[in-house]
Structure 1
Amino acid sequence: MTGLGDIAAVGADLRRGGFSRHGYDRAELELREWFTAEAGRRGLDVECDGNGNLWAWWGAPGDGAVITGSHLDSVPGGGAFDGPLGVVSALEAVDVLRAKGFTPGKPFAVVVFAEEEGGRFGVACLGSRLLTGAITPEAALRLSDSDGVTLAEAMRAAGLDPARVGPDQRALRRIGTFVELHVEQGRGLVDLGALVGVARSILAHGRWRVTVTGEGNHAGATLMVDRRDPMVAAAQVVLAARRAGSAVEGARATVGRLVPNPGGTNVIPSSVDLWLDARADDDARTRAVVAEITAAAQAAAADEGCAVTVTEESYGDTVVFDAALRDSVAGVLGGVPALPTGAGHDAGILAAHVPTAMLFVRNPTGISHAPAEFAEPDDCAAGTRALADVLEELAR
């Protein structure tokens, strides 16, 4: 896809591989400029709402619009397709529709949601959560990155006014239907031999911060029996996550980030922060997994003479996408399969407020959130055509 090629150098991460593009950092701001230019080249009028989301309107804005798009940020060292594929496909779907002589009979826009991955400020789908009121402005603006920069400071540096952050009923009224195209984050379509699919549901999922506090000391001068080492307890939490996630059918539990303080090779840390991602088919199972890991963390901390706190940073219950819209979209595409997904999306946040659907483009590796994430060019083109067909039907 031409658009993906245009941004292939933006945010390339030479250390991790893949791409690191986080909310309001240099790479993400460059991508926002790219999107604004591409939308302008198509005659779309771009506006930025108070929560940092970009809206490119084909014609006059209005209530009950057909909206499509995704996000441009990434996880640290993420793949090239997660987020940008949905944005590029949306813009190219506009090209396809225009080439057919189609003009929307309803208001129509392409959207880019801000900080979907939570890679900088820790809360996923931040732009859509703020828009819908799923997180308070006060809580959001206090979020900070690993350098201590708050969301409020980052927005201000990007030329946005933090005072405008918060629930946006006007923007929400404008969304009549939202359709998000995404690379599949799994092998469901490959195993079914299908090019494109639709989303049926999203697992209940959330993020928790686990802080283990012990006693910092000298690695060489402190006898093993005299230690209160939070790293030992933190290691037990990682293992507990693996056990708890494996014990519940369909569950997932992951510790993907661990930060010792102060972080010296010859220093027993005084504290260790680690972040738990837990997911399962429903709220009860997800909470049960987290409860088991929390109990294990408390026991491990006590054994080591440490203290532990577990703080929920974000959570989303099971999402079941609008059945009528899902079936309509699948029908437009000739009866493509409907799949569940373990990955969260802005579409999942919006689903509680407006009819929402998702299209998936197959991923031959099944790998996502990593440099090996991939989709064949022909499959991406098929996804664009499918999205254009769906949008044409919805926007007549």
Structure 2
Amino acid sequence: MNGLAVQQVKYLYYATKRLITMGSRLPLVVILGSTGSGKTKLSLELAKKFGGEVIGADSMQIYKGLDIITAKATKDEQLIAPHHMIDVLEPHETCTVVEYRNNVLKLIDELLNENKLPVVVGGTNYYIEALLWKILVESENAKKHDQPGVLPNNDHEMPSEELHKKLKSLDPSMAKRLHPNNKRKIIRALEVYYQKGKKLSELYDEQKSSFGGSKSGGGLRYSNAIVLWVNCDQETLDKRLDDRVDAMLKNGLLDELLSFHKIFNEHRLKTGEEMDYTKGIFQSIGFKEFHTYLMLKEDERQTPEGQKQLEQGVQQLKMVTRRYAKKQKRWVRNRFLGRKDRQVPPVYELDSTDVSKWNENVTVPAFEIVESYIAGVKCVREPLPVRELGSTPNSEDETHFCEACERVFIGEHQWRGHLRSQKHRRRLNALGKGKGVAA
């Protein structure tokens, strides 16, 4: 046994000894990371080591079915430790972030009271933020499934841009923060206005003030929360994700999608619903990418054109998955490490680039970090520093409309970047507005 290994054994021994004498102080463990980075593997290791339970924070894994495309823990893996918030809803049901938050907060409290380690794992940003920070305004219909809320004159059927104009007249401050195409959030703001008779922007301001938060959100909900960020070199992760898509295909991805698509279409035809890839589990990566192929008749799928559509779907799935992984990585950097104006839990980076060194780079450090918090001793590992990244987009950034390019941009960061872009300048020249005119 080398010197480092001896040191680690001693550390765990004394930390455990102190734990026994001082009593347990369990933290809330949140595992973050891009898809394919190894979050599920680490969650199982931690739950098994510390007698904890896994809580899913994935807006697609919460639905029943589509186990392959949503990359759920397998049935055998779920036997290693109790799992929650996985396979909870039927595909046609909905779950708001408020509903998710309320259910999981209760679950976390129950686990902590039973002296069981809660291990939250997933990559759905707004689920994670709703748990960690005291944000979100409760609405009267928060506990109702498939209810459109309280909007007059069937406003739910109005185009997004029309709804945005309506919000602008009622709550201009909130309208400035939302993209005109973000129909879900626009409707949410309007619902709050009609239900509570108060602007959502005002409620957010009151909430942040009450909870001691910042312009980025309310204060931390759990003082003993820790974040384990399973991070992987991007080039390595891209290759890993491409390989994972290929493995999914070998493991029956197409049969899963075709079967699910057939069942849903039968239900859709009976109820007269239109195909909508913006709701529920149908938002999952994989449906839109294979839409053309899935709509083909069985004999058409075997034709050269059918195989062409299949290959295009595969390549689209790989591209979208890589893009999503990068988005998840940016989110951690921006929301956890790039803002000094908000309270953030300590974030510890674990390098999963080299899978042959998983135990050395991920498992052992994670065990040490969690053990130190349980025992109340200083951790030998240092969390990542929080630094101001400048104008990072956030929920309070205002929208800007470029009349020349007819595009909307959220936040000063995007807006200034657009104004400096060659595409914008070419558009101005084409319109004859001259050099230096913004819009």
Same fold (TM over 0.5): no
Q: TM-score, normalised by structure 1?
A: 0.28
Q: TM-score, normalised by structure 2?
A: 0.26
Structure number, greater radius of gyration: 2
The answer to which structure has the higher helix fraction is 2
